[in-house]
Structure formats: C-alpha cells, structure tokens
C-alpha cells in the first residue's frame, strides 16, 4: 500500500512525533509498502533498509519564541499533494493545523485516514492561555477526528481521556523502543567520570525545554547534596531554566549513540511533566536499565510500576519530589533492584512489533473504511 505520513513537524526537529514517523516509514519500507512524508520541513529520508522516502514540504511558519521549529501553514496545497501522491491511506501524526487540512482533504477524496493522537493540545492550550482554552480545543479536536476512520492512542489513560471527550473510534497503539541504542551495557564510565566525579547520584531528565514539561519543579531536587541533575534537551525555556537550576548541567540537544550512552549512564530518570500522552524518554530510560520517577499522570502510568521499575510522584509539590530522590540516594539497594527490573518491563515493545500493529490498523480501515465499529 502507499501511505501518506502527514506530520506537523519533521526533521531536522527532534521530538517524539518525528521519531514515530521515521520508525513508521522504516517499517513500512521494510515490509514492501510505499511511505511518503508530507511535512513543513525535511529532506528525502533514507530508511534503515535503504529505501528512499520522498518528503513533500508544505509552506511553514516559525513561532516567535521557538524559531527552530517550523510549523505548517497549509493552504489548498495539501489536497493537491494527495492528488499527486494517490495514497491508499493517510496517516495523521499528531494532527493539528496540517493534520486538520489533510483530514478534510482525505475525507473529500474518500481516502481513509488514521489519526495518531500524540500531543495533548487541550492541556497545552490551558498552559499557554490560548483564547478559548481547553474547552474550545476539545471541540475542535472532535471535529478533526470525526473526519478520520480511526484514532490511535499511545496509552490507556489517554484512551480514557479521549472517550470522555467524545472522540472515537479508538485503538491502542503505543511506541516502540530501540533496544540497541538504549541498553544497560552502554553505561559509560567516561560519561560518569565527567558528570559525577565524586560518585554523586546521577539524575537526568530528557525533554523539550518548554513550559508544559514543568522542569522548573526540579529546583529543590537540583540542590540536594550528593545528587547531580543533568538536563538533556533544548527549547524556548532553556535560559529561564538555567537561571532557575544553576547547579544543573545542561547538555543541549543530544541524539543518536551519544544519547544512548548518556541515558544508559544515569542512575535515575526524573520526568515531572503531567500532560504526557506516552513519554518516550521514560520508555528509553527503562530500556537502558534506568528506573524512572515520574508524575502520576498520563502515559507514564502505563510504563512505570511504583516500587518495581520506578516510582510515581503524586501531586505537584517539588519538595516531595526532591524528598523521593533523596530517599533513593540513601537507598541504593532499592535503586539497583528497580534498575534490574527496568529493561524487562519494556523489552517487548520493539519497533518491529509496533510497526506490524500499525500496518494491521491500516488494513482494517482499508477493509472497512465506511464502517466505524473499531474500538479498543
């Protein structure tokens, strides 16, 4: 089949949406299908099996405070692109502006569309004080998803949330993890010698440095004696966070093998964000044998089992979070026990398995595109 992968962001941006689109393209090509990307940026992509995926760039704009992230500003060109590509199915990756235009164009042409819900836009609207807030955003999202044959959600909490807001039909489609890039054996003595020469507890967070990640709540944690906080990532809040967390190490954007080495060298991953639909950074840490301490909200609830492969932080008090980290600093046995269980908790979540699941969802909407009983 020919699949149009319509993505709100694409390379050179680095985020969960881009990663999932790349891995979907890899797997589709590996299985003999024809992926084509429609996005606001990017060059033709060579997949891991050597196939070249064409990238059709639509017109884009850049946010005043986030110049490095081009976002689509589509016109009728999306429909024209679909006419040229002639896909069997349209895959909408975290649909917003471009995804909405593509959903409408696909519906007008009788092409089944599968939407992948990956970003909690309603929560972001509330945090960024967008006019109309979350109520208006949910109304707009319902209209968008009503134009699709199926919405795929990455976690059970997110599925429950969408059902409450009248979005469906739904099916669960999580995210895969690269078990070679993130593995306990990649822990680097050189990385640890550079970051924690005194044997401190190495605590990391891997995230886009933006308001919704709530990284300012790591302040009390960063001041703990015997603890070193490393912040991996970049974004519009970097300077603000560097002032708020003067003792933390900021690495900027890290990717590929270097990211695998860094994550695998941590003692603990901490993620304070409360609006995650999945949280790939948590899954990657677990694959690397690094337990995670996360906000008890959203997608991480499917990944972290309290006291087994990590811990949950309930509420919003940063001092409670710091106290939990201090307890783990003083109980290395508990930390090592959780680390020993971390990788096994996600090792079944390979991109190969998740890619086959995705193709199965395409097959179902192609076979029953006019019927909407697909639920999970």
Percent of the chain with pLDDT over 70: 94
CB-based contact 95:39 (threshold 8 Å): no
Give the whole-angstrom CA distance, residue 73 versus residue 259. Answer: 32
Task: Note the CATH architecture for domain 184-345.
Answer: 3-Layer(aba) Sandwich (3.40)
pLDDT of residue 66: 54
Asked if the model's pLDDT at residue 68 lies above 70, the reply is no
Backbone dihedral angles phi then psi of residue 124, each to the nearest 5 degrees: -65, -40
Residue 189 has pLDDT above 90, yes or no: yes
Q: What is the pLDDT of residue 120?
A: 85
Angle between helices 77-85 and 97-109 (to 10 degrees): 50
Backbone angles phi, psi at 146, to 5 degrees: -65, -20
The CA distance from 333 to 370, in Å, is: 56
Q: Is the pLDDT of residue 88 over 50?
A: yes
Whole-prediction pTM value? 0.90
Q: Which pLDDT does position 70 carry in this prediction? A: 61
- Residue 34: the pLDDT is 98
Give per-residue pLDDT as tens, 299-353: 999 999 999 999 999 989 999 999 999 999 999 999 999 999 999 999 999 999 9
Tokens 């080495």 — which residue? 261
| Exposure b/e, 279-307, CB count within 10 A at least 16 = b | bbbbbbbbbbbbbbbbbebbbbbbbbeee
The larger pLDDT score, comparing residue 16 to residue 62, is at 16
CATH 3.40.50.2000 domain extents, the chain: 2-176+350-367, 184-345
pLDDT tens digits, residue range 38-52? 999 889 999 999 999
pLDDT tens, position by position, 191-235: 999 999 999 999 999 999 999 999 999 999 999 999 999 999 999
Average pLDDT score, the chain:
92
CATH 3.40.50.2000 for domain 2-176+350-367, yes or no, is yes
List, in sequence order, every residue forming a beta bridge with 70; answer none if it has no partner. Answer: 62
Residue 72: pLDDT band with limits 50, 70, 90: low
Reported confidence tier of residue 371, pLDDT bands at 50, 70, 90: very low
> Can you tell me the mean pLDDT for 134-145?
93
Residue 319 pLDDT: 98
Examine the pLDDT at 75 and tell me if it is beyond 70.
no
pLDDT (0 to 100) of residue 232: 98
SS3 for the chain is CEEEEEECCCCCCCCHHHHHHHHHHHHHHHCCCEEEEEECCCCCEECCCCCEECEEECCEEEECCEEEEEEECCCCHHHHHHHHHCCCEEEEECCCHHHHHHHHHHHHHCCCEEEECCCCHHHHHHHCCCCCHHHHHHHHHHHHHHCCCEEEECCHHHHHHHHHCCCCCEEECCCCECCCCCCHHHCCHHHHHHHCCCCCEEEEEECCCCHHHCHHHHHHHHCCCCEEEEEEECCCCHHHHHHHCCCCEEEECCCHHHHHHHHHCCCEEEECCCCCCCCHHHHHHHHCCCCEEEECCCHHHHCCCECCCEEEECCCCHHHHHHHHHHHHCCHHHHHHHHHHHHHHCCCCEHHHHHHHHHHHHHHHHHCCCCCCCCC
Q: Do the beta carbons of residue 31 and residue 47 sit within 8 Å?
A: no
Non-local (6+) Cβ contacts of 71 within 8 A are 8, 9, 40, 60, 61, 62, 63, 97, 98
The span from the CA of 76 to the CA of 317, in Å, is 47
Tell me: pLDDT of 374 over 90: no
Which residues make Cβ contacts (< 8 Å) with residue 100, sequence separation at least 6?
140, 144
Residue 76: the pLDDT is 75
């Amino acid at each position: 089949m020919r699949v149009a992968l319509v993505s709100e962001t694409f390379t050179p941006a680095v985020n969960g949406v881009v990663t999932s689109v790349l891995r979907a393209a890899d797997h589709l090509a590996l299985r003999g299908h024809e992926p084509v990307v429609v996005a606001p940026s990017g060059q033709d992509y060579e997949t891991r099996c050597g196939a070249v995926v064409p990238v059709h760039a639509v017109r884009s704009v850049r946010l005043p405070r986030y110049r490095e992230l081009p976002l689509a500003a589509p016109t009728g060109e999306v429909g024209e692109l679909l006419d040229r590509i002639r896909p069997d199915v349209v895959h909408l990756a975290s649909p917003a502006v471009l995804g909405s235009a593509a959903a409408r164009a696909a519906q007008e042409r009788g092409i089944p569309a599968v939407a992948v819900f990956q970003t909690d836009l309603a929560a972001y609207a509330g945090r960024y004080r967008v006019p109309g807030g979350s109520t208006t955003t949910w109304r707009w999202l319902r209209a968008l998803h009503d134009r699709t044959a199926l919405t795929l959600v990455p976690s059970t909490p997110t599925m429950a949330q969408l059902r409450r807001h009248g979005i469906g039909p739904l099916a669960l489609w999580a995210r895969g993890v690269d078990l070679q890039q993130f593995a306990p054996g990649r822990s680097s003595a050189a990385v640890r010698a550079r970051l924690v020469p005194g044997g401190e507890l190495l605590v990391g967070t891997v995230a886009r440095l933006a308001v919704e990640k709530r990284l300012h709540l790591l302040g009390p944690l960063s001041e703990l004696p015997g603890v070193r906080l490393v912040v991996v990532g970049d974004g519009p809040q970097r300077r603000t966070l560097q002032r708020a967390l003067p003792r933390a190490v900021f690495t900027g954007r890290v990717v590929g093998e270097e990211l695998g080495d860094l994550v695998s060298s941590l003692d603990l991953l901490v993620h304070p964000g409360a609006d995650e639909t999945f949280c790939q950074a948590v899954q990657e840490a677990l694959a690397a044998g690094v337990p995670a301490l996360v906000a008890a909200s959203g997608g991480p609830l499917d990944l972290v089992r309290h006291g087994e492969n990590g811990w949950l932080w309930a509420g919003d008090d940063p001092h409670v979070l710091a106290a939990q980290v201090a307890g783990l600093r003083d109980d290395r046995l508990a930390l090592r026990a959780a680390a020993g269980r971390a990788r096994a908790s996600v090792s079944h979540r390979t991109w190969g398995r998740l890619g086959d699941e995705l193709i199965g969802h395409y097959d179902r909407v192609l076979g029953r595109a006019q019927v909407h009983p697909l639920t999970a």
